[in-house]
Amino acid sequence: MSSGQLNSSASWHDSVLVIESILDIKIPNATVVVTGLKPVIDTWTLTAEGRTLTHEADDHKGIYVYEKQ
């Protein structure tokens, strides 16, 4: 049975939280060579007034906006 581990690191770039995630896949008793994998990068941006949080992710090409009620 194969297994995977998602390793993420987060850092602030001014007012933007950037989360970079890389998947590490392990398959017992097999040699697998995978090249060209890019990390998944999510960004979370909070507006100056703190009422709107915008989430962008490069893996699903969507932008989601969350507004505080």
Q: pTM of the prediction?
A: 0.66
Q: What is the C-alpha separation between 34 and 19, in angstroms, rounded?
A: 22
With contact defined as beta carbons under 8 Å apart, do 15 and 32 qualify?
no
pLDDT at 7 exceeding the cut of 80:
yes
Q: Which amino acid is residue 52, in one-letter code?
A: T
* Structure confidence at residue 10 (pLDDT): 94
Mean pLDDT, the chain, rounded, equals: 79
pLDDT band at residue 22 under the 50/70/90 scheme: confident
Q: What is the C-alpha separation between 25 and 30, in angstroms, rounded?
A: 11
